[in-house]
Amino acid sequence: MNAVVIYDSRYGNTEMIARVIGMVLGATVCHVDLVQPNDLSGSDLLVLGSPTHGGFHSEKIEALLKDTDTLDGCKTMVFDTRTKRTLFGYAAPKMAKKLSRKGAVLVVPPEGFYVMGVEGPLNEGEMERAEIWARQSVSMNGDHAVQIKDLLEWKSP
């Protein structure tokens, strides 16, 4: 399967979740800065991840979606990172709505992963929850098992 995970991240938390999901799916993991709008429809499965900013996805993710013409039939998954407190909701449902309007198909419900404060870190157990969420979209075999303990040591460059 040719899967791609595209993420934005200011403090590295969304990137950590993106990398867990990328390992489960055997996907290419790409920062949004490195992606062109027309790249989005070229994969079997597109995963979009964003921090929640003011209840929405990031401006960079918004710009990418805005410049993407159509995603007819493209299989997608969306996730955000978030705090427990928000005034205007969360990013993932909004990304899901935008993708659906462009013809994309969500293969699992949007998901959010919690951080303890604006800069993180991720709440305990969120990396594991991301692994489980990603596994919902594929039938896994042992060869692709994610070593979560290794990823917990991983830091954004």
Ligand X SMILES: Cc1cc2nc3c(=O)[nH]c(=O)nc-3n(C[C@H](O)[C@H](O)[C@H](O)COP(=O)(O)O)c2cc1C
Question: Is there binding between residue 93 and ligand X (CB under 6 A)?
Answer: no
Cα 31 to Cα 11, 61, 85, 132, distances in angstroms: 13, 10, 26, 22
90-100 burial string, b = 16+ CB within 10 Å, else e? bbbbbbbebbe
Asked if 121 touches ligand X (CB under 6 A), the answer is: no
Residue from the set 5, 9, 57, 96 that interacts with ligand X by CB under 6 A: 9
Question: Closest Cα to residue 47, out of 71, 83, 12?
Answer: 71
Count CA within 13 A, CB hemisphere, residue 66: 7
Residue (53 or 135) nearer to ligand X, CB:
53
The residue type of 7 is Y
Contact range with ligand X by CB under 6 A, out of 22-30, 92-100, 115-123, 124-132: 115-123
Question: How many amino acids of this chain bind ligand X (CB under 6 A)?
Answer: 19
Residue 20 touching ligand X (CB under 6 A)? no
Q: Which of 1, 2, 26, 88 binds ligand X (CB under 6 A)?
A: 88
The continuous run of DSSP H or E covering 123 comes out as none
Q: Using the minimum distance from each CB to ligand X, give the nearer residue, 1 or 118.
A: 118
The residue (of 11 and 39) whose beta carbon lies closer to ligand X is 11
